[in-house]
Each structure stands twice: as C-alpha cells, then as structure tokens.
Amino acid sequence: MKQNIITSSCIFTAADSIFFNTYGISFIKSFSHFNAGVEIHFHIMDPMDVDILMLESLPCNYSVSYTDETLKLETVETLKKVLTDKTDLPLVNQVKSAFKFLNNYDTTEKKLYKLVDGQNYRSGRFVALNKLWDGQNIVLCYDVDTICQGPIPIDKILPNYSQGCLLIKGKFVTSLTVFKDNSQLLRDWGNALETYIKTDKISFAFMDQNTFIKMALLYDVEPINGHYCNHLKSGAGLVVTGKGGTKFNGKFKDKINLWKN
C-alpha cells in the first residue's frame, strides 16, 4: 500500500528501479517472512509503472520519489568546469578520488554523471526517510542488497540511545542505521544530504557514510553488532548484506534469486 508517512515501527530500505528489481523483491519477501507483524517499507526512486504494480502485490508499504534530472545535468557541468579550471583543488581531489570506483566508464562526462546519479540514490534513502518518518517509533534502515535470515527483535536493537549504526572494525558503516525518539541526528543528516545533492558537495566519495561518521561525533550513537547485518562470507547472522563483487554472483546471488522466485 502506498504510504506518505511512516507511523509504525518498521524495517526500511530504498532503491531505484534497477536495484529494486535486482534486490528489492527479495528484501521485501525475506524480511516479511521472518518478521510477521512488522511493517516493511520500501521507498522507490524513479520507478517504472511495472515497479509500482509489483510493489502493490508485495507484503510491504511503499513510497515514491523522483530525482531531478535537470539538476543532475547541471551538477555534471559544474564539476566538469571544476576539473578544467583546477581552481578548487580539494574539490578536484574529491572528484578524482571518486573516479577510482568508476573505471568502467570511458569518458569524464559519463563518470561524473554516474557519480552524481549514484550519490542521489545512495543518499536519497536517508533524505526520504527523514521526510517520511514521524519520529514516534523505531526504524531500522538497511541496504537494499540485504537478505533476512531470521526474526529481528526490532524493539530491543537500540536500548540506550536515539540512534545507532552498524560497527565494523571500529568504523560506522551505514548498511544498517537505526533511529527512534525523533532522532535529531537523522534530522540533521537527512537535511545535510539533501543540501549536498544540490551542490558540488555531491562529489564526496561515499558521501552518505562519511557525513554520518562526521555527524556521529555530535551525538551518542549506539554501535550495532554485526549479528544484525553481517558482511562476512560465512553468511551467518540474522541478516546478510552483499558487498563488493559478492553481491553480483556466487552464493549471495543464489540466495537473492531463491527469494525472488
């Protein structure tokens, strides 16, 4: 069912049409299977009509937004000028750092568009959550390329503070973020990401994660154990999230397809 505001405790994710069809269907089916009675909310960005029909048939609530194509193209032109003029060396370095992950694209323009487009979708998850969530209940926000493997004690995952994040090797990783009690960290973070999307700050590599790490210094953030969001090859834990090349093939992709079909 389409929903314009999240008023219940829920498990949340977001993606564009491509990632919805690749991972989102399995996300919804696996989480709803193991967590009966818990709301699953899927936010889809730039959907096709067939995506909405599919969401209507799945055990979830959903919401919809559209990215601004004109703004993306304008940002690409701004960043092209930055690279040409070389007057803002920190920004030039940020863009070149991001290019390390875009070797499959053969022109600067294509790399910049992919950078801007990808940042819109990755950060758009938290921008959307900030707008949708009424702040009254707990929300678990996962990466879309995630499979649930057991029931999650949603009301026990964040006992001490109003915000939490997956902790891996001493570093916060936004594959899982958790918020309750109208978390001010989410409000500030979502607003900041929305601003960055509209400026050349979108060039930050891993913009969503790096801005979270910076803002987390201002708040009490609860470390979330990897049991709730496991990146390990062993596949153990209540939830497994695909990372790097593992998300496109092998055992993880087999699990995705099993749930999808």
Q: Is the pTM of this model over 0.75?
A: yes
**Residues 6 or more apart whose Cβ sits within 8 Å of residue 124:** 14, 45, 65, 67, 197
What is the predicted pLDDT for the residue at 234?
63
- pLDDT class for 232, splitting at 50, 70, 90? low
Does residue 223 lie within any of the structural domains? yes
Q: Which domain holds residue 210?
A: 10-260
Q: Contacts by 89-92 with C-beta closer than 8 Å and gap 24+?
A: 91/200, 91/203
pLDDT score of 233 more than 70: no
- pLDDT class for 87, splitting at 50, 70, 90? confident
- Tally the domains of the chain: 1
The residue among 213, 247, 203 whose CA lies nearest residue 99 is 203
Does residue 184 lie within any of the structural domains? yes
pLDDT score of 54 more than 90: yes
Does residue 2 lie within any of the structural domains? no
Residues 139-173 as b/e (b if ≥16 CB within 10 A, e otherwise) read: bbbbbbbbbbbeebebeebbeebbbbbbbbeeebb
Tokens of 147: 């499979």
Residue 76: CATH number of its domain = 3.90.550.10
What is the predicted pLDDT for the residue at 93?
93
- pLDDT class for 243, splitting at 50, 70, 90? confident
What is the residue-averaged pLDDT of the chain? 94
Does residue 3 lie within any of the structural domains? no
In angstroms, the CA 54 to CA 64 distance is 13
